[in-house]
Each structure stands twice: as C-alpha cells, then as structure tokens.
Amino acid sequence: MTGADRLTLADGSQHPTGFWAEEAVVPYRALKAAGHEIVVATPGGTPPPVDRASLAAEVNGGQERADEIARGLEEMTELGEPVKLAEADLDDFAAVFYPGGHGPMEDLAVDEDSGRLLVAALDSGRPLAVVCHGPAALLAAVRADGANAFAGRPVAAFTNEEETQGGLAPRVRWLLEDRLTEAGVDVRTAAPWAPHVVVDGNLITGQNPASSAQVAEELLKRLG
C-alpha cells in the first residue's frame, strides 16, 4: 500500500491523498471472510494514510455506504502495523494485492522495493491483483534489461477519461493510462466508473473503485 498522503501536482503544489478506502475495505473483508491472514506493507513501514475524500457520501453512493466503508477501515487493524516493503519476503505469502488512490502515483510508481516485489510476484505465478491507481506501481517493475515486466500484458487501470471527469487530469504531472501505455503495458479501458476487470494468467487488474469486489472475487478463485 502507499505511504504517501500528498500527491505533487504539475505546479508543485500538494494535493491531499492516500489510499482509496473502498479499494482496501472491500477486498480486505472478502479475504478475511475466506479465512486469509493479511499483512500490510508500505515504503519504510509507514502506516498507510486513507484519502479522506474516499469517505465522502457522494463517492460511496450515499451516507449509509460511506459509514459502512468507514467501519470497514476500523476493522483493518493491520493498517497500524505495516511491515517495510524492503523486508517483505514473497515466499511468506500466497498472493499480492495493491489497492489504489492517488498515493501510489507519488511513491510506489518509483519505489524499487515495490518494483522488485511485483516482478517476483508476476514471475512466481502467485495471484497478483491490482486496482484503480494501484497499477502506478507497475511502472517501477523494471527488469535488468530496462524493460517493464508488464510490457505486453493486458491490464485495467484508472483511465484518462475517469481522471478528467474526476477533475484532476489538468493538474497532475502525468496520467496513469498514458504512462502505462508508454511503458508498453496494454491498457484495456471500459466505460467510466463501471466495474471492469482484466484477468491475464495470474495477473488480475481492475479499472476503478467499482471494480474492487470483482477483483477480490477473482483473487479468491485463484487462492482456492
């Protein structure tokens, strides 16, 4: 998960951010209900900050749903006890999951420890699930020859159209869909804000917050 609570914009100003609550809570609850143990890892072991905007009623379909997501965050006691990404040993885990929010664009997109973990997870055949802005972390997954490990792989990720409709596109330093495409990743887009999941072998990716539940379902299928 991201450890960044600010996104640096094109003009140098800082936009409050973090991880998007729904993208963490929905898969967390599904995995815990299935009996899985969850470990949170961040750059430097920093407790991951939630994007406060992701707790608003208007982005959760109403106050009742927003309150439910907030209760879900309280259940996630692991958020207060993250391990350092540099010390996370893939052999200790059955799967890897990255939620989104704009935070990953600030830190995970350039984090070498995260990049090495992603390359190892992809090559290991373990289920690897990434949603929304989480695919920003794929940008750091570079092999020894300089090629991106996910080049040529079909993925879903937060789209330029969604970023534009969300109002941040004119202000960010780069757009996720563009940067992934430049790295050779095959970004598969669908209608804005609708659930859209792409599965390619052990790689499971979702386009936006609404895709979180389906990403979790696909991950659980592969975990058995």
Structural domain tally of the chain?
1
Antiparallel, parallel or unpaired: β 154-155 and 203-206: unpaired
Per DSSP (E only), the strands in the chain are: 6-8, 14-16, 41-42, 83-84, 96-98, 128-131, 154-155, 186-187, 197-200, 203-206
Q: Which residues span the domain enclosing 197?
A: 6-223
Q: Which residues does the chain have with pLDDT short of 50?
A: none
Q: Is residue 148 part of a domain?
A: yes
Q: Is residue 43 part of a domain?
A: yes
Q: Is residue 1 part of a domain?
A: no
Question: Are the beta carbons of 8 and 14 closer than 8 angstroms?
Answer: yes
Residue 10 pLDDT: 98
Antiparallel, parallel or unpaired: β 197-200 and 186-187: unpaired
Residue 217 pLDDT: 98
CA distance 131 to 160: 15
* Residue 127, CB-side half-sphere exposure with 13 Å CA sphere: 18
Q: Mind listing the pLDDT tens digit for each residue in 50-79?
A: 999 999 999 999 999 999 999 999 999 999
Residue 164 pLDDT: 98
Q: Is residue 145 part of a domain?
A: yes
CATH number at residue 102: 3.40.50.880
